C-alpha cells in the first residue's frame, strides 16, 4: 500500500530555534515530493522536489530529497511565531501522470515567542 | 502564482439537503482538478479527480452518487454533496493542477477550502 509518513507529528519550539521536519514514503513509480504549509485554511505550496540531493531554498526554509532513503526533510532556521502551522508532505506517484497526491499526516509546528 | 478560488467559504445546511461547492482556477486553465476532504486534526484525503469534459474518477470508498462532480470548463469544477448528513460535515478543499513544463513536474494549487456543517 502506498503511504507517506511524517515525523514528528507535533513540535513546540521557541523563536530563533532551527527545526527539521521529516517525510518518508513508500510508493510505486515516484514522480515528485511536495511540501505545503497549512494555516487556518488550505495548504500553500512551498517546494516541489524531483531530484535527489538538490536543495531547494526559500528564505529561511529549505528542503532536500533523498531518493535512496525514500525521504525528504524540511528545515526552518531562525523560526518565527508566523511559522506556526501544519506542514504537509505529499507525493505524486503512478505510472500515468495523473497528478494524484498522497498526503502524510502532517507535522504541527508551534513556535513560542 | 496560480490562484484557485472556492465558493462558498462556509455553508451550514440542514440534513437531507444538497450543497454545491464551486472551485475555479482564476488565472490559468486546469484540465485536472482534485477534491479533498479534511477532518479536524487529520490530513487531506483525496476524494476524486475531476477531468474537464469527462467523468470524475473517485477514490475507493467515496460514493459517486453522493458526491457529484462536474468539470464543465477548463476553469470550473463543482462538487455537489447530495442528501447531506451530519457525518458529511467537513472541510472540503479543491486543487487545480498547473503544469510547470517539465516531464515530471507540475504544481498543484489549492483553493481556500469550504467548511460544510450539516445540522
Q: If you ran DSSP here, which 8-state letter would residue A82 be given? A: G
Taking only the tens place, the pLDDT of each residue in A47-87 is: 999 989 999 999 999 999 999 999 999 999 999 999 999 99
The C-alpha atoms of residue B73 and residue B91 are separated, in whole angstroms, by 24
Q: Has residue B101 got a pLDDT over 60? A: no
Answer for the pair A73, A55: CB distance below 8 angstroms, yes or no.
no
The minimum CA-CA distance between A24 and chain B, rounded to whole Å, is: 15
Residue ranges of B 75-104 with Cβ closer than 8 A to chain A: 93, 95, 97, 100, 102, 104
> Which residues of chain B lie closer than 8 angstroms to A43, CB-CB?
44, 93, 110
Sequential DSSP letters for B35-69:
EEEE-TTS--EEEEEEETTS--EEPTT--TTTEEE
Q: Is B31 on the interface with A (CB under 8 A)?
A: no
pLDDT higher than 60, residue B104? no
Beta bridge partners of B70: B78
pLDDT tens track for A11-54: 999 999 999 999 999 998 898 999 999 987 778 889 999 989 99
Q: What is the pLDDT of residue A45?
A: 86
Closest CA to B44 of A30, A100, A53, A80: A100
Selection from B69, B81, B82 nearest residue B32 by Cα: B69
Computed over every residue of chain B, the mean pLDDT equals 89
Interface with B, mutate which of A4, A23, A39, A42 (most B CBs under 10 A) = A42
Under a CB-based contact definition with an 8 Å cutoff, are residues A32 and A52 in contact? Answer: no
Rounded to an integer, the average pLDDT of B12-28 is: 94
Amino acid at each position: 500500500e502506498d503511504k507517506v509518513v511524517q515525523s514528528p507529528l507535533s513540535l513546540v519550539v521557541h523563536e530563533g530555534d532551527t527545526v527539521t521536519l521529516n517525510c518518508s514514503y513508500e510508493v510505486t513509480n515516484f514522480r515528485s515530493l511536495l511540501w505545503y504549509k497549512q494555516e487556518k485554511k488550505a495548504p500553500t505550496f512551498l517546494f516541489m522536489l524531483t531530484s535527489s540531493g538538490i536543495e531547494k531554498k526559500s528564505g529561511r526554509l529549505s528542503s532536500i530529497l533523498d531518493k535512496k532513503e525514500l525521504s525528504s526533510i524540511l528545515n526552518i532556521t531562525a523560526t518565527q511565531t508566523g511559522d506556526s502551522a501544519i506542514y504537509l508532505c505529499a507525493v505524486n506517484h503512478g505510472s500515468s501522470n495523473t497528478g494524484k497526491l498522497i498526503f502524510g499526516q502532517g507535522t504541527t509546528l508551534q513556535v513560542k515567542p | 502564482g496560480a490562484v484557485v478560488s472556492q465558493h462558498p467559504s462556509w455553508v451550514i445546511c440542514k440534513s437531507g439537503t444538497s450543497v454545491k461547492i464551486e472551485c475555479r482556477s482564476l488565472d490559468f486553465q486546469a484540465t485536472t482538478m482534485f477534491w479533498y476532504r479534511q477532518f479536524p486534526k487529520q490530513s487531506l484525503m483525496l476524494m476524486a479527480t475531476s477531468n474537464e469534459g469527462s467523468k470524475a474518477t473517485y477514490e475507493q470508498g467515496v460514493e459517486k452518487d453522493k458526491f457529484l462532480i462536474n468539470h464543465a470548463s477548463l476553469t470550473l469544477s463543482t462538487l455537489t454533496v447530495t442528501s447531506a448528513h451530519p457525518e458529511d460535515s467537513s472541510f472540503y478543499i479543491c486543487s487545480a493542477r498547473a503544469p510547470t513544463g517539465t516531464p515530471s513536474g507540475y504544481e498543484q494549487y489549492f483553493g481556500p477550502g469550504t467548511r460544510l456543517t450539516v445540522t
